[in-house]
Structure 1
Amino acid sequence: MDMITPVPRPAWIAGRPEQGAGTLAVHHPFDGSEVATVAVPGAEQVERAVAAAAGVAAEFRRTPAYQRAGALEHISRQLAARADELAEVITAENGKPLKWSEAEVRRAVSVFRIAAEETRRFTGDIQRLDGEEAGEARMAMTRRVPRGPVLGIAPFNFPLNLVAHKVAPSLAVGAPIIIKPAPRTPLAALMLGEILAETDLPAGAFSVLPLGNEETSALVADPRLPVVSFTGSGPVGWSLADAAPRKHVVLELGGNAAAVVLGDWPDLEGAAERIATFGNYQAGQSCIAVQRVIVERSVADEFVPALLTAVQEQRTGDPYDARVDVGPVVDEAAAERIVAWVDEAVAAGARVLTGGTREGATVEPTLLTDVPVTVRAWAEEIFGPVLAVSIVDGIDEAFAAVNDSAYGLQAGVFTRDVQVAFHAAAELEVGGVIIGDVPSFRADQMPYGGMKGSGVGREGVLAAMNDLTEQRVTVFTGIEL
């Protein structure tokens, strides 16, 4: 899709569109064609954006809740009104099939609507203090106040919705935000900037800066941005945290999510279809895409063939084709790496049941078995359409296999046994356990985040609002209780 305009798409500097000191070309991952150019702000523009965020912080946190909620409602409505256009933009810059882009836009619509609702009920609480003699005639009022302006660094794989998960909670609590979208996928974030500019948010409440990754370190170090919210790769995220030891840092990093299929699950074909779909959706470029499939031996002979059939039914091709399930990965270099990891697994003893090849940036949906736990296709995040199957004897071995990972984002457990479900919730070292479905399920209002190498902090609208704020206590003395 050709989106090239006579002039580059502008950056948003303190709520205003501006051309930059340079430009950045955006390419369609499927065929490498150039789809747009965007303005890259210079140092002076970045400074104005940061200064404006710091300068408006006190004013913005004092705005009435109804004003912030109204702005968020407007954004939600406009995203819905421009849904078709936004979906085409996401597919153009990211390469995901159009049906997944449409789903992403719907989620972003919900994120801003939920944020508007939470803004109106984001209050404090009252605590009487006379449980001890020293607190007689005293009462504490606790409320939450923003930690300060937010630097939101977003990845390429969800160029609208993961931006929304940073912008909406920030605006809900009255914290200015500077968004740095991924250089490969800045278009949806810039379109969101257009919609943000239609609101009555104060100047400086938002900026969208399509900068290169190498230009991020100065923003991370800037003391005027006391909160850093990063979604992306682990090595980059942890290095940012190390560079900002006195800041409040939220890291949503990677994973190698496991789906466990236990012997009591009645619909093995349905489980296979869900796992095949969500191992390959977004071409596997989701931190909660299924990567590891752990199957109880009692059902393996029935389940594995069903999974093979379901994977083979995943259709690749032009992401604008409505029949296509799996588009390209972000670029050809990523495709080369994914296939190299598959080849490494095969050299170590794994078997390829289907797939294992690529054409350009498109990797054929791949199913592996007999994968050694030490190879990268099992132990690391492959971030591609590759599933690796392991057969285990019993629940304890299955859960131990899930936990034998450097990551801990989400896990799915296909079981009907409520006792096993509670056991999974207690034992699995992950931020979220999904019972009866794949680990890829995420509701945008629920807390979302990981353990171990998968990061720190939580997203999900209300959880993020809490994370972006801190408690402030006022004690009233000499009052009648």
Structure 2
Amino acid sequence: MTHLTKHLWINGQWTETQTYYELHAPYDRQLIANIAKADASHVQVAIDGAHRAASVMRARPAYERAAILAKVALLLQARREEMARLCAMEAGKPIRAARAEIDRTITTYQFAAEEAKRIYGETIPMDAAPGGSNRLGMTWREPLGIVVAITPFNFPFNLVAHKLGPAFAAGNTVVLKPANQTPLSALAIAELFDEAGLPAGALHVLTGSGRELSDELLRDERVRKVTFTGSPEVGKAIKSKAGLRKVTLELGSNSALIIEPDTNIPNIIERCVDGAFAYAGQVCISLQRIYVHEHVYDEFCERFIAQTAQLRVGDPLEEETDISTMIHTHEVDRIEEWVQEAIAQGARIGCGGQRDGSAWEPTVLLDVTPEMSVSCKETFAPVVSIVKYRELDDAIALTNDSAYGLNIGIYTSNIDRAFYAARALEAGAVIINDIPTFRLDHMPYGGVKDSGYGREGVKYAVEEMTELKFVSIRLNT
């Protein structure tokens, strides 16, 4: 295979660097490309360029910003299979899941194009207060300027879209730092935006070490917002350095699902297995903890384990593959340690529990207790725990006994119990009669506790990427 050499994307052109790193496919370690490593000087050039382009973007009318985003969606649709294979290769994502990600990414940019035309203000009834008579009041939203976006490996197209789409819809410029393992997708999107007519300097893509670049990206006060998806530890560090600047943080989770005794178990098994093991569990809202009522526990476990055993582990580029490699071998080492620790503490393996080359077998754990790492931490791996409960309040307490609170699911046909749980559960979203892995790209998305700060979902991200301005006019009388 002939590998590529990819440079930085700065000020609308490719920029070479002194050093490059080798990018290998997670599945077979084949060399894919040599990727440029940015340094502090490149960060400064990118921010300077983004600052100059900010006035250009601010002046662009909404319909032009919308047209650019809509064209990117069309260009991405035309190259769907090419981009899906790129995603499968560099991220190790099974090709069917990669195609689904490209489809979601197209939808996200379409939503962003629509939201560019829907950035509304409101009128304020000034005469509602003494002294407000003969005055008009109104609000509107203005772009912030420079947005720094830092994205992870697990959804290299769609999570980038959730940063770029709202930012450009709002009239901002972006300096993007993609994950080390998935730079090619970000660079491919930069080319599409260039083809779609995005002004030079409105988007910069800096590849290389996030650890080496993050301080430089935050040091310049012209950066008005940081939007980050990644680990809680890095997110907290970013927030501490951001000061009064806006921050959106999408962090970790150990998402839970509660299954009440009135649930039709056969109808939900395939959905639950998909939520637990899609993309090897490397999803922020992957189903990690399942709390099943004692009356249906045995049936659920039997059916869930049987369905899990049918999953095929293999090459991400093969159509039949359900689960492929994890992103790095050290992640396989970590989850092996956590599973062995759980077994030593009394957990049982329902199925799986072994390495499979560079992958980890889809694994079901039983008799798990809350203090085990596979329960209280984010596994980010194809490992799920099934735990029996007696009363709904017990399941709610177990679910809430977590440092995280992103998405939580509950299956029940009792509407009163569904809304009782929805009010009691500590999470950014409660998904009734579906798995917590459910997400559409226009819904508000974000967590509480260590799961994050702020909200994504295109409309909500646009709001967080703008500044609200109030204007009052005193009328002549």
Task: Give TM class, smaller chain.
Answer: over 0.9
Task: Map 1:382-401; keep pairs closer than 5 Å.
Answer: 382-401=379-398
Are residues 1:231 and 2:241 paired? no
- 1:220 deviates by 1.9
Task: Map 1:52-201; keep pairs closer than 5 Å.
Answer: 52-201=49-198
| Aligned equivalent of 1:453 | 450
2:253 aligned to which of 255, 277, 282: 255
**Does the 8 Å contact 1:277/1:314 carry over to 2?**
no
| Aligned equivalent of 1:11 | 8
1:436 aligned to which of 424, 433, 437: 433
Q: Secondary structure at the match of 1:133?
A: coil
**Does the 8 Å contact 2:145/2:223 carry over to 1?**
yes
- 1:361 deviates by 2.0
Q: Which amino acid aligns with 2:253?
A: G
CA distance in structure 2 between the partners assigned to 1:133 and 1:338 by the alignment: 64
Which deviates more, 235-244 or 280-289? 235-244
CA distance in structure 2 between the partners assigned to 1:354 and 1:3 by the alignment: 40
Task: Map 1:401-480; keep pairs closer than 5 Å.
Answer: 401-478=398-475
Q: Secondary structure at the match of 1:471?
A: strand
**Does the 8 Å contact 1:16/1:197 carry over to 2?**
no
Q: Which amino acid aligns with 1:235?
A: E
| Aligned equivalent of 1:371 | 368
CA RMSD of aligned residues (A): 1.3
| Aligned equivalent of 1:41 | 38
1:207 aligned to which of 204, 208, 211: 204
Are residues 1:306 and 2:303 paired? yes
Which deviates more, 142-151 or 56-65? 56-65
CA distance in structure 1 between the partners assigned to 2:445 and 2:469 by the alignment: 25
- 1:250 deviates by 1.0
Structure 1 unpaired stretches of 5+: none
Q: Deviations over 1:205-248 (max 9, x none)?
A: 11011121222221122212121111001111111212222321
- 1:3 deviates by 5.8
Structure 2 unpaired stretches of 5+: none
**Does the 8 Å contact 1:169/1:462 carry over to 2?**
yes
Which deviates more, 361-370 or 125-134? 125-134
**Gap change, CA 1:380 and 1:479, over 3 Å in 2:** farther
- 1:470 deviates by 1.8
Which deviates more, 84-93 or 42-51? 42-51
1:295 aligned to which of 292, 296, 299: 292
CA distance in structure 2 between the partners assigned to 1:479 and 1:198 by the alignment: 50
Q: Deviations over 1:373-412 (max 9, x none)?
A: 1010000001000010110012111111111100000011
CA distance in structure 1 between the partners assigned to 2:271 and 2:456 by the alignment: 24
1:351 aligned to which of 348, 353, 357: 348
CA distance in structure 1 between the partners assigned to 2:86 and 2:356 by the alignment: 23
1:315 aligned to which of 309, 312, 316: 312
TM-score by length of 1: 0.97
CA distance in structure 1 between the partners assigned to 2:172 and 2:468 by the alignment: 15
Taking only the aligned residue pairs, the percentage that are identical comes to 39
CA distance in structure 2 between the partners assigned to 1:475 and 1:342 by the alignment: 62
1:241 aligned to which of 236, 239, 242: 239
Q: Which amino acid aligns with 2:175?
A: I
Are residues 1:281 and 2:296 paired? no
TM-score by length of 2: 0.97
- 1:199 deviates by 2.7
CA distance in structure 1 between the partners assigned to 2:269 and 2:450 by the alignment: 28
